A and B are shown apart, each in its own frame.
Chain A
Amino acid sequence: MKALNYPSMRGCIGAAIAGAISVVGLASSAQAWEPTKQVTFIIPAGTGGGADQMARFVQGVVTKHNLMKQPMVVINKAGGAGAEGFLEVKKSKGDPHQIIITLSNLFTTPLATGVPFNWKELTPVAMLALDQFVLWVNSETSYKSAKDYITAISAGADKQFKMGGTGSKQEDQIITVALEKVTGGKHFTYVPYRGGGEVAVQLVGKHVDSTVNNPIEAVAQWRAGALRPLCIFDDKRSTYTTKVTTDMAWSDIPTCKQSGVDVDYQMLRGIFMPGGVTKEQVAFYVDLFKKVRETPDWKEFMEKGAFNNTFMSGDEYTKWVAAAETRHQELMKGAGFLAGAK
């Protein structure tokens, strides 16, 4: 049982004003806004996945530390690879009592399915973190490094190796296709499953040969010695140096680039609001999430999931999202995943 550290309570309005000034940099005439009814937190994904875990965690932290006067309600709207959730927010233009957490399906779903929505129709609030991807194999196999594994794939028959992943034409499959550039023309058989936890278990049961699970989805199996991480899809190693298993920390996993696999991919865990909201309303949520990130619970959560703990808001965040969209368009086009491209 861990001790619960409650930060000293501040006047909520005062804090909101301070947040509004510090973040948006408005003149002191800015009127603080705060929710007047319950806030709906939409998850465009199913229960149990990475986005779901994070959103429910945020809800828990907000409640536990009394960061907001009004209650926060979490709803899953997973239909159509998240399109259901995004369309809901798009429809609620001007409603400041709705926020949504995103994963890469913010970009991939409209591209792959043609469902009409775009992040520009929403209001970017803040980036909470970037989720990493790691190449995992079963620990009973002989592959000690990404190079070993890639060599085996190149030497094997086409489609002999099976990659398990979450969803179809989404981040896991994008990474899989990117990996195929270095496998000497050999393809993976990509098998889509419903959720990351299920994918990790399928790898432990040897129904697939590898996965690109997010750290938090596979960490329990890694600690139990059932899975082995080969490389992390980032341009630098993780910064978490606490030992996760008896002899390895997240920072001990080499980058894929170091292992000769030049693939780099992180997933946005960010917050958006409906379009047409005021600056003060956005500022309230930016401030709220800043407070969430200051809690010890959040730090522990980041470390457990080996998240890249980067925070962005305002223009910086909007620019980042725009660049990520362009990148996904290229990746999806290269993989032949665009709607109607077949």
Chain B
Amino acid sequence: MEEISSLMQGFGVALTPYNLALMFVGIVLGVIIGVLPGLGGANGVAILLPLTFSMPPTSAIIMLSCIYWGALFGGAITSILFNIPGEPWSVATTFDGHPMARQGRADEALTAAFTSSFVGAFVAVVVITFLAPLIARFALQFGPAEFFSVFFLTFASFVGMGRGSPWKTIAAMALGFALATVGMDGVTGQLRMTFGFDQLLSGFGFLIAVIGLFGIGEILASMETGLQFKGSEAKLRLGVVLTTWKKLLTYWATSIRSCVIGCWMGITPGGATPASFMSYGLAKRISPRGANFGKGEMEGVVAPETAAHAAGTSALLPMLTLGIPGSPTAAVLLGGLLIWGLQPGPLLFVEQKEFVWGLIASMYLGNIVGLIVVLTCVPLFAAILRVPFSIVAPVILVICAIGAYTVNNAMFDVWLMLVFGVVGYAFNKLDYPLAPLVLAIVLGDRAEESFRQSMLLSQGNLSIFWSNPLVASIMSLGLLMLVWPLLSSLRTPKTPGQSAAAPS
């Protein structure tokens, strides 16, 4: 097959000692960037971009994309250990990853997360290798109505997912939608809910909200429960990678489902964030262990991590073939391509064969290198939890504050983070789920925008959401998800497990 021979040539390009060294450097830098909240993949790549201008384009993109992989791997570390997701798509990883860490199973959670990331990314690369030209066209079918249907499906698969009252979920989500409206309204070009504060012009940053709600909220809650973050319980088990892998094999169905969701969302390009949430929501519904989700179920780590990385990787396809970046990091990479004189677009695969296949080959290699690097460090990461809480907590607070500050270099954001921290704490105490709130903050404005674009296109006619088989099937699936909890609660009496705390 032509793809195989092109790929082999690509490996020839990527497999030089120089490029392998760059890969290693990229992964390590990426992991560090991923661990520090506020720095994030996009900033990291932007800062390091100028360093690569003296390199040949292929080497440069290999190093930068390895930083990207490294940051993706690294995002899972803080989510699991400290309940602080560094990127939007790591939020769902905290739901079960952090409870596992609290139970002294941080090493298992990390291994599961890294391995799932690898599986997701690997499957996505295989898809890119063989189906690239075919599926690149698919993204073109996505207009505003299709985008809205995807967001709708994501929200719908989340309502009623928390074990608490569905009303609390809806209330949290509604608050999130309200917060998401702050700033510029993209459709009318008017400012909303800024109340004259310049700092609110760009709305509430995801990172600030999440660092506050999850990170600070978590520390407040831990302090109250008498510092019960039992660091010494984080055992160091050397064989943990192998034992975890054995367990992971039993979750094959979830892995496959998450890969499919992830690849599909990456290509369309719905993005990694909806993919991770949707995958988590579905896994919880379908899995026989669904009732344990949110209490430290490994499958709850596998689902979002696999989907997020499958999506993150396959999102590079629309970037290369259509020039639409699937994420802020991809946007910076896109800028890099232009500086190297490469024009992303349908002809890139034809005109820049060496570059494209070198990049694809480096995705295979970069992920393998990345997995090896992070897996060997699992005991090291897990050991962080052995440090007493009274030392770790202030350090986390400082890192959170620095992270919030660096997003916009603004002190205002640090105060905002603390306010969100108090909100997060209050949500915990009152048993409101945080996840729908965060989901709505992250996707609310895009959902609103695509809905209103659709309404402009159809001149206010809702039938646009059933105007073709693609959008109709996604919308119908979403409606089904929405009424599912209602139907199942009618059929079966409430089980005791349903009254436990919602994931947070």
Contacts and interface: CB of A to CB of B under 8 A. Distances in A.
B495 interface: no
Contacts of A294: none
Given A192-B187, A220-B343, A224-B346, A207 B457 contact: yes
Interface stretch (A20-28, A49-57, A272-280): A49-57
Nearest to A114: B191
Given A60-B339, A201-B139, A220-B345, A79 B457 contact: no
A84 B198 contact: yes
Contact of B191 (A87, A113, A192, A207): A113
Interface string B175-195: 000000001111111110010
B189 A191 contact: no
Contact of B184 (A63, A73, A79): A79
Given A1-B57, A74-B46, A205-B143, A191 B456 contact: yes
A47 B42 contact: yes
Contact of B347 (A47, A74, A208, A220): A220
A304 B325 CA distance: 20
Contacts of B449: 194
Given A113-B190, A204-B140, A219-B343, A191 B453 contact: yes
Interface residues of B, number: 54
A150 B141 CA distance: 26
Nearest to A46: B331
A52 B335 contact: yes
Nearest to B355: A1
Contacts of B202: 77-80, 84
A13 interface: no
A31 interface: no
A162 interface: yes
Interface in A34-84: 46-48, 52-53, 56-57, 59-60, 63-64, 71, 73-74, 77-81, 83-84
A197 B139 CA distance: 13
Interface in B101-153: 139-144
Given A57-B338, A79-B203, A115 B191 contact: yes
Contacts of B194: 80
Contacts of A167: 186, 189
Contacts of B408: 77
B457 A205 contact: no
Given A168-B186, A198-B324, A205 B346 contact: no
A300 interface: yes
B142 A168 contact: no
A304 B331 contact: no
B17 interface: no
Interface string B321-348: 0111100100110111011010111111
Q: Which of A74, A80, A113 has the most CB of B within 10 A?
A: A80
B323 A47 contact: no
Nearest to B456: A191
A304 B501 CA distance: 57
Contacts of A290: none
B345 A221 contact: yes
B236 interface: no
A3 B88 CA distance: 40
Contacts of B323: 197, 200-201, 220
A47 B323 CA distance: 12
B246 to A, nearest CB: 42
Contacts of B184: 79-81, 113
Q: How large is the interface on A (under 10, 10 to 19, 20 to 34, 35 or more residues)?
A: 35 or more
Contacts of A205: 139-143
Q: Which of B184, B332, B334 has the most CB of A within 10 A?
A: B184
A274 to B, nearest CB: 15
Given A60-B49, A204-B140, A300-B341, A48 B335 contact: yes
A40 to B, nearest CB: 9
A117 to B, nearest CB: 10
A163 to B, nearest CB: 11
B459 interface: yes
B339 A224 contact: no
A58 B8 CA distance: 36
A112 B190 CA distance: 7
A320 interface: no
A338 to B, nearest CB: 11
Given A113-B190, A194-B186, A226-B346, A79 B201 contact: yes
B50 A1 contact: no
A52 B57 CA distance: 20
Contacts of A219: 343, 345
Contacts of A297: 339
A168 B189 contact: yes
Contacts of B46: 56, 74
B144 A201 contact: no
Contacts of A221: 345-346
B251 interface: no
B140 A48 contact: no
A10 interface: no
B339 A47 contact: no
Contacts of B183: 79-80
B335 A53 contact: yes
Contact of B335 (A2, A57, A77, A304): A57
Contacts of A220: 323, 343-348
A193 B332 CA distance: 19
B53 interface: yes
B144 to A, nearest CB: 7
A318 interface: no
10 contacts: A57-B339, A64-B50, A77-B202, A79-B184, A113-B184, A168-B189, A197-B324, A201-B140, A204-B322, A226-B346
Pairs A-B, 5 closest by C-beta atoms: A79-B202, A220-B345, A168-B189, A80-B201, A207-B143
Given A56-B335, A64-B54, A192-B189, 17 more contacts: A1-B56, A47-B331, A48-B335, A56-B46, A57-B339, A60-B50, A73-B47, A112-B190, A115-B201, A162-B457, A191-B453, A207-B143, A220-B348, A223-B346, A223-B347, A224-B347, A304-B343
